[in-house]
Amino acid sequence: MDKRLQLKVIIKKCEQKFGRGDAENWKHNDFNDFSAVILEETKINISPNTLKRIFGKIPTDKYYLPQQATFDALISYSEIDENELADETSNAATIPVTNKTKIKPKNSKIKLGIFALLLIALFAFAYIYFDKSGIDTNEIQLKLSSSEGLLPKTCYFDIKLPNTNENLYIDFGDRSPLINLQPKQKIISHTYYIPGVFDVSITNKVKKLSKSKVFVSTDNEWYMLGFQRQRIIPDNYYAVQVQKNQDSLFYISNNQLLKQGIDTIQPFFIRVCNYAPIKQNADNFIFEATFKKGVQYNAISCNGLVFKISGSQNYIRFNFVNPGCSSRITNIISEKTIKGTNHNLSPFVVDFQKWNTIKLINKDKKLRLFVNDSPIYETVYNNSLGDLRGLFVEFERNGLFKNCHLSSLNGEILYQF
């Protein structure tokens, strides 16, 4: 896989997450801040000058690539997974060169022919690398054998690996770091600190070779989770069972979070969730919630709210943002992924300073989404979600929400805060 194509995709993801627009317009202080944020999240120090080289602000040799540790730190910060990186890299290979990197050949026809041959070679290599890895997936096994605890929950997996020189890893599905598996390893354990339905897989960092699932329940209770980044749980997070206050809503102040070790100056997330298994098909339900957010810490920033409804097989996740930030949105509806980078998702922009009500109706895999009683989105998906497993509402930074409930189409309450 071409690392330069990978780097282009990673740079774009980092730009979107950092939230300060095109890196071409960044100043020295932006790179200082970016370096500090990467160090905080990944524990790897990338100097501002190195970042300037990577982002094209300092001239480099045309074959320049950062060290692998730097490369890995940018992947970790951007939160792009290996499958998405492979897909985006393949797409990037077909995108015309922009004006920023435009080549002016002396003989355009010859250059175009060479470029076409290189492109064909790249796709041929990708095909061989992706589809002919030499590993017989029938020789790989991954099975959840036992578990102990509720929340946190430690799970034990039986594994069987083929005789190969290729590095294999296990991804536990909760955004924790990949673990390198040893050739003759037969068992591995992992502790989950957050509830949900997790896709566990053995991977070679290119594709998933064997899969399993883990369900971590809240035992029909509502929990609040506060954390800086999901990747660094359990190093820094706060979890507590929550109840409504006298105004029938949920809110936790920044002062309370500070007392529990959550740095509210830095980016953080507040998630309110209930994961309890219900014998109800998740392809038919009505979900409704009302929310708003406090004054933004930084007026020139992107802020958001996500809600997710999980089934035993797949899930639905919708993302709402403040004005100017719709390109950051990624919505997932079972097998469908809709990104703000290549779709107009401006209907998902809301005024967080006001109370907003979202309502999602799912009837036989046909979704209709309303915001403040106005329809904003409609789609149909194919792959069933399976039985209901739970839901969460998550604020980027802080917020308030109330009247959160999920019911069957005939009005039976299944989850209610």
Give the torsion through C-alpha atoms of 274, 275, 276, 279, to 10 deg: 110
> Which pLDDT does position 331 carry in this prediction?
96
Query: Is residue 344 predicted with pLDDT exceeding 70?
Result: yes
- Helices 3-18 & 28-42 angle (0-180, nearest 10): 100
Other CB atoms within 10 A of residue 185 CB: 14
Task: Return the closest-CA partner of residue 306 out of 197, 199, 391.
Answer: 391
> Which pLDDT does position 132 carry in this prediction?
46
Q: Tens digits of per-residue pLDDT, 63-78?
A: 788 888 888 888 888 8
DSSP readout, 226-262? EES-GGGTTTSEEEEE----TTSEE---HHHHHHTT-
Q: What percent of the chain has pLDDT over 90?
A: 41
Query: Which of these ranges, 15-24, 40-49, 85-94, has the smallest mean pLDDT?
Result: 85-94
| Token pair of 401 as six digits | 């929400």
| Token pair of 145 as six digits | 């054998």
Rounded to whole angstroms, the Cα distance separating 74 from 72 reads 5
> Which pLDDT does position 215 carry in this prediction?
95
244-249 LR contacts (CB < 8 Å, sep 24+): 244/402, 244/417, 247/402, 248/402, 248/403, 249/400, 249/401, 249/402
> Which pLDDT does position 246 carry in this prediction?
62
User: What SS3 class is residue 323?
Assistant: coil
Rounded to whole angstroms, the Cα distance separating 302 from 323 reads 8
- Mean pLDDT of all residues in 408-412: 93
- Mean pLDDT of all residues in 361-378: 96
How many Cα atoms within 13 Å fall on the side-chain side of residue 315?
A: 18
Local confidence band at 285 (pLDDT 50, 70, 90 cut-offs): very high
| Token pair of 101 as six digits | 């990197």
Query: Which of these ranges, 86-100, 221-235, 314-328, has the smallest mean pLDDT?
Result: 86-100
Rounded to the nearest integer, the mean pLDDT of the chain is: 84
Phi, psi dihedral angles at 278 (to 5 degrees): -130, 135
Q: Tens digits of per-residue pLDDT, 151-197?
A: 899 999 999 988 888 888 999 999 888 899 988 899 999 999 999 99
Q: Which residue has the higher pLDDT, 16 or 171?
A: 171
User: What SS3 class is residue 362?
Assistant: strand
| Token pair of 284 as six digits | 């038919």
User: What SS3 class is residue 370?
Assistant: strand
Q: Tens digits of per-residue pLDDT, 349-360?
A: 999 989 999 999
Residue type at 277 in one-letter notation: P
CB 126, CB 90: distance < 8 Å: yes
Rounded to whole angstroms, the Cα distance separating 173 from 307 reads 18
> Which pLDDT does position 19 carry in this prediction?
81
> Which pLDDT does position 104 carry in this prediction?
45
Rounded to whole angstroms, the Cα distance separating 323 from 121 reads 42
Residue type at 29 in one-letter notation: N
Residues 95, 98, 104, CA angle at the centre, nearest 5°?
A: 110
Rounded to whole angstroms, the Cα distance separating 125 from 135 reads 17
Local confidence band at 346 (pLDDT 50, 70, 90 cut-offs): very high
